[in-house]
Amino acid sequence: MVKKARSAQRREDSLSPDRIIEAAIELLDNSGERGLTFRALSERLATGAGAIYWHIASKSDLLTAACDSIVARAMNAPVDDTTPQAAIRAFALAMFDAIDAHPWVGSALTRAPGQLPMVRVLERLGQQLRTLGVPDDKQWTTVSALLSYILGVGGQNAANTHFALQQGLDRSNFLDEVSAGWSQLDPNDYPFTRSVAAQLRAHDDRVDFLAGIDLMLRGIESASDR
């Protein structure tokens, strides 16, 4: 009996917030937010729920901590050069990739607007906007626009990927079908949509995302020069 008690104590001692968060991320990636329960987490960590509650008070706190861990990793994305534009592009793309790999991150961020994960994102973007010379009275609206674009496009891309997986769709075949449909639209009612039908077939989501970031950066730089 003593040996079993010591073994249990070693398991409790080896449990840490970082280990709990990593296990939570795995559950979220595999099963989404519905799959993140303290019971499932206890089974994955081979421990009792009480031991987890000792480190993490609630599911909401755990979701925020898991989200913060992913955001912190995105902040370590390499930058091609030292300009603020390059830093924004690198971080934005890292967030896009993070949301693509962990679709729950986008919604977790939007539901915790005043907490550390969102503060990290705001601070990283805001510091670079200051370096770009964005006036103080324009910084909030500018960072909000960037943030909305990153989370909006990243979240939509992740949703599209999730939908395709659920429906068993092949991306190339799906885009071919949509492109073919667009090309058959009435040229008088939908002249633009018909004109970009071929581009839809071959487009790259990450390239399109960065093109949008570059458009915003050019607008920010133009406004700052006035």
Do residues 40 and 122 both lie within one domain?
no
Q: Among residues 146, 139, 123, which one has the least CA distance to residue 71?
A: 123
Do residues 43 and 90 both lie within one domain?
no
Q: Among residues 117, 124, 29, which one has the least CA distance to residue 84?
A: 124
pLDDT at site 5: 41
Do residues 2 and 86 both lie within one domain?
no
- The CATH number linked to 167 is 1.10.357.10
Q: pLDDT tier at 226 (50, 70, 90 boundaries)?
A: low
Could you read off the pLDDT of 97-138 as tens digits, one per residue? 999 999 999 888 888 778 999 999 999 999 999 999 999 999
pLDDT at site 164: 76
Do residues 95 and 11 both lie within one domain?
no
pLDDT at site 165: 73
In a domain, 3, yes or no: yes
In a domain, 131, yes or no: yes
Do residues 121 and 197 both lie within one domain?
yes
| Residue reference for tokens 């898991």 | 66
Do residues 117 and 200 both lie within one domain?
yes
Do residues 97 and 35 both lie within one domain?
no
Do residues 42 and 108 both lie within one domain?
no
C-alpha 112/C-alpha 61 separation (Å) is 10
- Other beta carbons within 10 Å of 160: 15
Do residues 96 and 172 both lie within one domain?
yes
Q: Which comes out higher in pLDDT, residue 218 or 161?
A: 218
Which pTM value belongs to this model? Answer: 0.85
Do residues 159 and 50 both lie within one domain?
no
Do residues 14 and 108 both lie within one domain?
no
CB 154 within 8 A of CB 99: yes
Instruction: Tell me which range, 31-35, 68-72, 161-165, is most confidently predicted by mean pLDDT.
Output: 68-72
Q: Provide, rounded to the nearest whole percent, the portion of the chain with pLDDT above 70.
A: 93
| Residue reference for tokens 């896009």 | 96
Domain housing 23 = 1-56
Average pLDDT, the chain: 88
Do residues 47 and 114 both lie within one domain?
no
| Residue reference for tokens 């626009």 | 145
pLDDT at site 112: 79
Could you read off the pLDDT of 63-94 as tens digits, one per residue? 999 999 999 999 988 887 789 999 999 999 99
- The CATH number linked to 24 is 1.10.10.60
What is the rounded average pLDDT of the residues 11-19?
Answer: 75
